[in-house]
Amino acid sequence: MTHKHRNAIVIGAGFAGIAVATSLAQKGYDVTVIEKNTQIGGRARQFHCQGFTFDMGPSWYWMPDIFENYFRTFGKKPSDYYQLKRLDPSYSVVFGADDRWRIPANLQELGVLLEQYEAGAAEQLEKFMAQAKYKYEVGINDFVNKPSRSITEFLDIRLLKGALNLDLLTSLSKHVRKFFKHPQIIKLLEFPVLFLGATPENTPALYSLMNYADLKLGTWYPMGGMFEIIRGMETLAREMGVKFHTGETVSQIEVKNGIATGVNTDKDYYPADIVVGGADYHHVEQHLLPTQYRSYSPQYWQKRTMAPSALLFYIGLDKKLEGIDHHMLFFDEDFKLHASEIYTNPQWPSKPLFYMSAASVTDPAIAPEGKENLVLLVPLAPGLEDSEEKRSHYYEIIMNRLEKLIGQSVKDHVIVKKSYAIKDFEQDYNAFKGNAYGLANTLKQTAILKPSCKSKKVANLYYVGQLTIPGPGVPPSLISGLVVGNEIEKDFAEL
């Protein structure tokens, strides 16, 4: 059979699903993506209300090199599809009403800022960043792009030597403390691993590569919003021949003698030579596959450390706020207490940390003139009971804190308000325990210790996205799609 006649069905049109679909189309497969929601983009969907445009999920554009590499794979550049702007300050961290650090895009300027709080911090930052750069280069080039199907992939002398320098066995928390003592500097350097869905104590120090991504490679913004990336990827995918079926839910993967033969949806049946699960891994294998073809048990899934869920508020204001930044982290409460209420002792947080994205500071097009577009986010333990009462209670808490910390009224100016939390993640994305960011990148859930990107029991079934390699986040989801596209080609090219 030639590729021209081989059908690939991809379940789910998030970043990873679109990426694997485009990769397979480039290799000559006939690809159809089936997406349950009416809009593609998955967790990165967008909605419009009264002239406001809200990105529903990701708001931080980090690791621009990964996006460049993605589009380069298909002979394109991000600028063929969207216009990027580097933010300066990259973001700000609010430690208290009169204590806000605006993180400059320039690393030397950051050194000067840190030096004011800890003598010698500028020099320590240089040393810390030299290691972070090494980890980024080796980590991204040699480790992250591996399919992690077998330990033998890592038995290369250069990689083994590299591994010793990658601090895989110490935690990020300990690593940061070897360089710095000031609690606020430590918070600043520990914050990026929250994107990986685990605590700094539980994350290998390898991931100080995230500090390189943050402080050196910078925070960017695609004008029009993060959904512009999805639009660009969709245009490219369609150019390559990918077909999208939206508003259609896959209800079952049909398997005969260990081979997936097609998928049933709520509307139709699609025969398939290859099936790729781009929806949450847990959903695909526990709900769409016959029991005997599942690689993992329900107990296995119960034992996984999921990345957090989130409570979000999409807010439109009838005025502009003064002196705010595009990205603001409100770290004025105890980081450890909130983390323990996510991971160790799951419950609604007693004193939540929260994050605010005010993209209209950079991009006037996403709010009506003279108005502000805010997204507020509180990380939550997955699987908590989610109710309107809880959402309202936390809305009051964070609105009051926000008003105090930025010293101006906000609540009375709200003209658009929509909440989104655990139940919505479950309902909209079939997310296990309502997770927002997939599976946490803890040491025990890294590389070959993640749910495998290839089914152990169905020869032509693969998985992509934030619950498999390499992990949560937009750049990893793009990598996931490209790596799995190549694996499929390797496995099937000869047949």
Amino acid making up residue 181: K
Question: Rg for the chain (alpha carbons), in Å?
Answer: 22
219 binds ligand FAD (CB under 6 A): no
Contact 482, 23 (CB under 8 A): yes
Piece of the chain touching ligand FAD by CB under 6 A; list 15-23, 71-79, 150-158, 203-211: 15-23
14 binds ligand FAD (CB under 6 A): yes
What's the closest the beta carbon of residue 179 comes to ligand FAD, in angstroms?
A: 25
129 forms beta bridges with none
Restricting to residues 435-454, which ones interact with ligand FAD according to CB under 6 A?
Answer: 436-438
Restricting to residues 274-293, which ones interact with ligand FAD according to CB under 6 A?
Answer: 278-279, 283
CA distance 312 to 419: 6
How many chain residues bind ligand FAD (CB under 6 A)?
38
For residue 247, how many other CB atoms are within 10 A of its CB? 12
Piece of the chain touching ligand FAD by CB under 6 A; list 37-45, 103-111, 119-127, 452-460: 37-45
Identified binder of ligand FAD from the candidate list 148, 211, 430, 441, rule CB under 6 A: 430
204 binds ligand FAD (CB under 6 A): no
Q: What is the DSSP string of 45-107?
A: -EEEETTEEEE-S---B--HHHHHHHHHTTT--GGGT--EEE-SS-EEEEEETTEEEEE-SSH
Contacts of 320 (CB under 8 A, 6+ apart): 360, 370, 371, 372
CA distances from 140 to 160, 172, 206, 460 (A): 15, 17, 11, 27
What's the closest the beta carbon of residue 284 comes to ligand FAD, in angstroms?
A: 8
Identified binder of ligand FAD from the candidate list 82, 466, 478, 482, rule CB under 6 A: 466
What's the closest the beta carbon of residue 283 comes to ligand FAD, in angstroms?
A: 5
Query: Residue 79 class from Cβ within 10 Å (0-12 exposed, 13-18 middle, 19+ buried)?
Result: exposed
Q: What is the DSSP string of 150-194?
A: -GGGG--HHHHHHHHHTTTTSBHHHHHHHH---HHHHHHHHGGGG
17 binds ligand FAD (CB under 6 A): yes
Contact 486, 153 (CB under 8 A): no
35 binds ligand FAD (CB under 6 A): yes
Identified binder of ligand FAD from the candidate list 22, 23, 26, 59, rule CB under 6 A: 59
Piece of the chain touching ligand FAD by CB under 6 A; list 102-110, 211-219, 443-451, 473-481: 473-481
Restricting to residues 385-404, which ones interact with ligand FAD according to CB under 6 A?
Answer: none
477 binds ligand FAD (CB under 6 A): yes
Identified binder of ligand FAD from the candidate list 114, 189, 250, 384, rule CB under 6 A: 250
Identified binder of ligand FAD from the candidate list 367, 374, 474, 484, rule CB under 6 A: 474
Identified binder of ligand FAD from the candidate list 69, 249, 295, 486, rule CB under 6 A: 249
CA distances from 44 to 16, 174, 197, 272 (A): 11, 33, 17, 27
Q: Which residues bind ligand FAD (CB under 6 A)?
A: 11-17, 34-37, 42-44, 57-60, 249-250, 278-279, 283, 310, 312, 377, 429-430, 436-438, 465-466, 472-475, 477
